[in-house]
Amino acid sequence: DADVTQTPRNRITKTGKRIMLECSQTKGHDRMYWYRQDPGLGLRLIYYSFDVKDINKGEISDGYSVSRQAQAKFSLSLESAIPNQTALYFCATSARHRDEQYFGPGTRLTVT
Amino acid sequence: ILNVEQSPQSLHVQEGDSTNFTCSFPSSNFYALHWYRWETAKSPEALFVMTLNGDEKKKGRISATLNTKEGYSYLYIKGSQPEDSATYLCAFLGNAGNMLTFGGGTRLMVKP
């Protein structure tokens, strides 16, 4: 079984809808991250969490919110989706600050 | 926003060729440099985490070097194989921040 899972894997939604992307991990890591990837660009950090009570904005947090329900679960919400949020979204985890990150399989989101 | 650049953006080589690409990052406040390999339709996977100036790391036919004083890292692939075809991402972690900043990636295509 995969260590980091994301649901859904693909989603098409309409402008203005609220959508939640979920991430679960079995690695026992405290640190979790949400990234988005756009064609031609690298991964950009949306939000990160170093433990259940610690949530921080990343480079591009506007239009997004997160919830860390437990050590193993970190959800990303788009309160009112817009077309330029169409992207590939990755969740990742790491054990310590500078350690390698383990990525989930990605969620491809299309906002029409 | 930190500037992390990778060159070239894409590279086509023949099977058996050796190749290398570059990651440039800020030369001040260095903490760590990550390399990831990202195959199409899969998740990025860590290759190396490099922390010391002069570090050299190797995994099979892939190796990397690090120069923190001048702000660059090289990734080398010896005797490229079609299965090496992927996007290679580098990511910089500064000691003043908590976030990895990714470069745009180098897309490698190895022709049989």
pLDDT of residue A6: 97
Share above pLDDT 90 across residues of chain B, in percent, rounded to a whole number? 88
Report d(CA A92, CA A64) in Å as an integer: 17
* A9-39 residue pLDDT tens: 999 999 999 999 999 999 999 999 999 999 8
Q: What angle do CA B43, B49, B50 make, to 5 degrees?
A: 150
User: Sorting pLDDT into bands at 50, 70 and 90, what band is A92?
Assistant: very high
Mean pLDDT value across residues B40-63: 95
- The two most distant CA atoms of chain A are separated, in Å, by 38
Identify whether the C-beta of residue B78 lies closer than 8 Å to the C-beta of residue B19.
no
- Is A63 at the interface with chain B, CB within 8 A? no
Determine the distance in angstroms separating the CA of B86 from the nearest CA of chain A, rounded to an integer.
14
Task: Name which of B47, B38, B32 is nearest B91 in CA terms.
Answer: B32
User: Sorting pLDDT into bands at 50, 70 and 90, what band is A1?
Assistant: low
- Is A104 at the interface with chain B, CB within 8 A? yes
Share above pLDDT 70 across residues of chain A, in percent, rounded to a whole number? 99
pLDDT of residue B96: 74
Among the partner residues B34, B99, B105, nearest to A100 by beta-carbon distance: B34
